[in-house]
A = this chain, B = another copy of it.
Amino acid sequence: MPDTTIPRYFQLFNEIAIIEQLARAMFEARLPDGMLVTHFSVLNHLVRVSDGRTPQDLARAFQTPKTSMTHTLAGLERHGLIDMRPNPRDKRSKCVFITDSGRRFRDGAIAALAPDLAEIAEAFPQEEIIPLLEKLTALRTWLDARRDRG
């Protein structure tokens, strides 16, 4: 392996980390004060994927420790955006439901974000983004599988 190889992969992850940071800042600037991307992501997941999941399901979906998810869900519940009820299938567990208020909040956030995304879509049209997305998905899938192995 030539010694220009390693730096390139470093750089790859570095670019990804910077984009993540910039995108997070951009998103959060559109959310009401105190609301973080974390909160939005959970609400979005509840709408897109499904309601009624357990906190543990959500923690796994976001690759985050369950204690972090407890914290995030507590915040969402405090704001009345989700509702947690006992899990009839498992008395240790709970089911997380999005409330009407949470659904409105999520829709509002998407609407608030849309102009930014539209601007990005103008600068980077879909034809460019689709193959990029494919490669990133492949990389993410691989890293994810690797993590499970070792």
Indicate whether A90 reaches chain B with its CB closer than 8 angstroms: no
- Chain B residues near A119 (CB-CB < 8 A): 146
Complex Cα gap A27–B16 (Å): 14
Contact pick for A132, options B6, B44, B135, CB 8 Å: B135
Known contacts being A142-B123, A143-B26, is A136 close to B8, with CB within 8 Å?
no
- Asked if A22 and B136 sit within 8 Å, CB to CB, the answer is no
Question: Can you name 14 A-B pairs with beta carbons within 8 Å?
Answer: A5-B117, A6-B110, A9-B120, A10-B44, A12-B132, A13-B20, A15-B136, A16-B20, A17-B23, A18-B144, A22-B143, A26-B143, A120-B142, A120-B143
CB neighbors of B among A39-96 (8 A): 41, 44, 63-64
Indicate whether A104 reaches chain B with its CB closer than 8 angstroms: no
Contact pick for A15, options B1, B118, B140, CB 8 Å: B140
Indicate whether A19 reaches chain B with its CB closer than 8 angstroms: yes
Known contacts being A23-B13, A139-B19, is A8 close to B130, with CB within 8 Å?
yes
- Chain B residues near A133 (CB-CB < 8 A): 8, 11-12, 15
Indicate whether A101 reaches chain B with its CB closer than 8 angstroms: no
Complex Cα gap A52–B39 (Å): 40
Contact pick for A23, options B16, B19, B21, B124, CB 8 Å: B16
